[in-house]
Amino acid sequence: MSDQPRLVVISNRVAVPKARGVAGAQGGLAGALNAALKKYTGVWFGWSGEEVDEHTGEISTQTTDGVTTATMDLSARDIDEYYNGYANSTLWPLFHYRLDLAEYERETGKGYERVNELFAEAAAPLINDGDLVWVHDYHLIPLGERLRARGLKNRIGFFLHIPWPAARLFVSLPYHERLVHTLLHYDVVGFQTAEWLDSFLHYCRTELGAEVDDEAGTVTLDGRTTLARAYPIGIDWDHFSALGATAEAQKAEKRLLSSTRHRTAMIGVDRLDYSKGLPERLDGIGRFFDQHPERVRDLVFIQIAPPSREDVDSYQQIRAELEQKTGQINGARSEVDAVPVRYVNRGYSHGELFGFFRAAKIGLVTPLRDGMNLVAKEYIAAQDPDDPGVLILSRFAGAAAQLPDALLVNPHSPDDLAHAIGKALDMPLAERKERWEKLVVTVRDDNVQDWTANFLRDLAAQV
Ligand code: ADQ
């Protein structure tokens, strides 16, 4: 549409087109933005993922499939302090309620601010008057304020893909006020759920003394007003649901079915991350087998978890813990012809995942905390309407607020998980259908295109 403003998207990484389709290493944000950008003209800017001796400020651009990307390289020090340090060892654990893992280092905080300034310096020349600017996620919270400092008058919005912690937790962050002050330089700030939004508004009111208008959803401080709203992200329904007709998905489904034969396959697909509750999931499965040893032959659990952020210590630890727990369950419960847990450390294409999801009659999505969780939605989208599987979903995933007809569980409780697994295994077809038919309406109708349109409509309307 020609009267549409141009869109400049800025996120830590961009999904370089040649890597598209292999979503494993990229996670939810990249897939969502790829879908969003196809509808708009503009550019997507971020770090190339490359490490160089010295940051040069050089930008490389390419256009594929109608999406123009612009990337810059970062130095080893920048990556260490900004990405592995402040973003992934301070903000990520804190925002996922893991105070025990959050590191508060002055140097990495400074590196975070320095790299945000580098992003502003590189992105500003890409932005024309009248462009909408959409900044993504916890890596780039101060970027809007840095762009404003360069005189940018554009409408600039920010979307947080992860939870916003309760005020009580958030205040443990040194200089928390400074971080939120920078956030209030955006015209629109979006969260995944009403819960994260409420935590943010509560913080602004009680800690900053900002004027909060709950009805209008605005926060006013120092004469500036920011619209703060919940915009639950969805999947690219048209693209994902069409994968079912592909040979790749059908082959993957058959492959899984033939390898599990008369056993029910239960599946988990996650980036290897401590927020995803993977050891706790295995504890729940172990508890189920302890309580029902006779059902070991009925069930096989497949966990697909490609490693991520391997330079961060806590990620190496979670990997070791998972290998140990898998070994324990399999050691105690395997037969010569039946291994209860298959743990796969790699990514698959979305087509293959579709096939695996469809073949698995139980989907286990049990994060301890998650902004939304798109795997839950993909699992629902992949089900056979005549014989749908059962989604077991953590009440602490943002998706739980939208998907109350899943079996909601407390992922910290092995008994709760074990109970849900038993209930899913025994659920009659009529109940499975009834639940799935309600779930699929939300997944289909609240999709990523709606998410983009809703956010950009509000951003364009803010003057
Ligand atoms: P993530 O933490 O990456 O995203 P999620 O929303 O579940 O989590 O998205 C993961 C995506 O990666 C899905 O599209 C999934 O199919 C894909 N993926 C995961 N494991 C894979 C594998 N083994 N092989 C191939 N693909 C795999 C962050 C937030 C979430 C939020 C999203 C989007 O942490 O809470 O939902 O951004 O906002």
In three-state form (DSSP H/G/I as H, E/B as E, the rest C), the secondary structure along 39-107 is CCCEEEEEEEEEEECCCCCCEEEEEECCEEEEEEEEEHHHHHHHHHHHHHHHHHHHHCCCHHHCCCCHH
The confidence score (pLDDT) of residue 16 equals: 61
**Do residues 220 and 246 share a domain?**
no
**Do residues 397 and 264 share a domain?**
yes
**Do residues 456 and 437 share a domain?**
no
**Do residues 202 and 217 share a domain?**
yes
User: What distance in Å separates the CA atoms of residue 99 and residue 173, rounded to the nearest whole number?
Assistant: 10
- pLDDT at 18 > cutoff 70: no
- Residues 245-258 pLDDT 10s: 999 999 999 999 99
CA distances from 91 to 14, 19, 108, 366, 453 (A): 20, 27, 11, 21, 28
Q: Is 374 in the pocket of ligand 1 (CB under 6 A)?
A: yes
Cβ atoms of residues 361 and 265 within 8 Å: yes
Question: What own/partner pairs with CB < 8 Å and gap ≥ 24 does 211-220 have?
Answer: 219/184
- Residues 390-444 pLDDT 10s: 999 999 999 999 999 999 999 999 999 999 999 999 999 999 999 999 999 999 9
Q: In the predicted model, what is the mean pLDDT of the chain?
A: 93
**CATH of residue 333:** 3.40.50.2000
CA distances from 18 to 62, 67, 196, 290 (A): 11, 12, 34, 46
User: What distance in Å separates the CA atoms of residue 385 and residue 389, rounded to the nearest whole number?
Assistant: 9
If you measure from the C-alpha of residue 21 to the centroid of ligand 1, how many angstroms do you get, rounded to a whole number? 13
Examine residue 192 and state whether it is found in any structural domain, yes or no.
Answer: yes
User: What distance in Å separates the CA atoms of residue 55 and residue 370, rounded to the nearest whole number?
Assistant: 33
Q: Whose CA is nearest to atom 32 of ligand 1?
A: 28
Examine residue 1 and state whether it is found in any structural domain, yes or no.
Answer: no
The confidence score (pLDDT) of residue 462 equals: 59
**Do residues 192 and 274 share a domain?**
no
**Do residues 365 and 426 share a domain?**
yes
If you measure from the C-alpha of residue 346 to the centroid of ligand 1, how many angstroms do you get, rounded to a whole number? 13
- pLDDT at 166 > cutoff 90: yes
What total number of domains does the chain contain?
2
370 is catalytic: yes
Q: Whose CA is nearest to atom 16 of ligand 1?
A: 375
Q: Is 31 in the pocket of ligand 1 (CB under 6 A)?
A: yes
pLDDT-derived band at 17, boundaries 50, 70, 90 = low
Examine residue 428 and state whether it is found in any structural domain, yes or no.
Answer: yes
Backbone angle region of 238, left / alpha / beta, with phi > 0 → left and psi within -120 to 50 → alpha: alpha
Examine residue 404 and state whether it is found in any structural domain, yes or no.
Answer: yes
If you measure from the C-alpha of residue 164 to the centroid of ligand 1, how many angstroms do you get, rounded to a whole number? 18
**Do residues 155 and 39 share a domain?**
yes
**Do residues 421 and 456 share a domain?**
no
Amino acid identity of residue 266, one-letter, is M
**Do residues 200 and 319 share a domain?**
no
**Do residues 162 and 273 share a domain?**
no
DSSP for 381-446? HTS-TTS--EEEEETTBGGGGT-TTSEEE-TT-HHHHHHHHHHHHH--HHHHHHHHHHHHHHHHHS
DSSP for 251-276? HHHHHHHHHHTTSEEEEEE--B-GGG
User: What distance in Å separates the CA atoms of residue 304 and residue 226, rounded to the nearest whole number?
Assistant: 40
If you measure from the C-alpha of residue 429 to the centroid of ligand 1, how many angstroms do you get, rounded to a whole number? 29
- pLDDT at 35 > cutoff 80: no
pLDDT-derived band at 55, boundaries 50, 70, 90 = confident
**Do residues 72 and 130 share a domain?**
yes
Examine residue 302 and state whether it is found in any structural domain, yes or no.
Answer: yes
Mean pLDDT of 98-114: 97
Q: Is 382 in the pocket of ligand 1 (CB under 6 A)?
A: no
Beta carbons within 10 angstroms of residue 58's beta carbon: 10
- Residues 265-280 pLDDT 10s: 999 999 999 999 999 9
Examine residue 267 and state whether it is found in any structural domain, yes or no.
Answer: yes
The confidence score (pLDDT) of residue 309 equals: 86
User: What distance in Å separates the CA atoms of residue 197 and residue 433, rounded to the nearest whole number?
Assistant: 33
**Closest ligand 1 atom to the C-alpha of 233?**
38
- pLDDT at 386 > cutoff 50: yes
Mean pLDDT of 276-287: 97
Cβ atoms of residues 133 and 40 within 8 Å: no
What are the backbone angles phi and psi of residue 12, rounded to the nearest 5°?
-55, -55
Examine residue 2 and state whether it is found in any structural domain, yes or no.
Answer: no
Examine residue 292 and state whether it is found in any structural domain, yes or no.
Answer: yes
The confidence score (pLDDT) of residue 421 equals: 98
pTM, two decimal places: 0.96
- pLDDT at 365 > cutoff 60: yes
Token readout for 377 is 């939605």
Domain ranges, residue 206: 7-234+448-461
**Do residues 125 and 261 share a domain?**
no
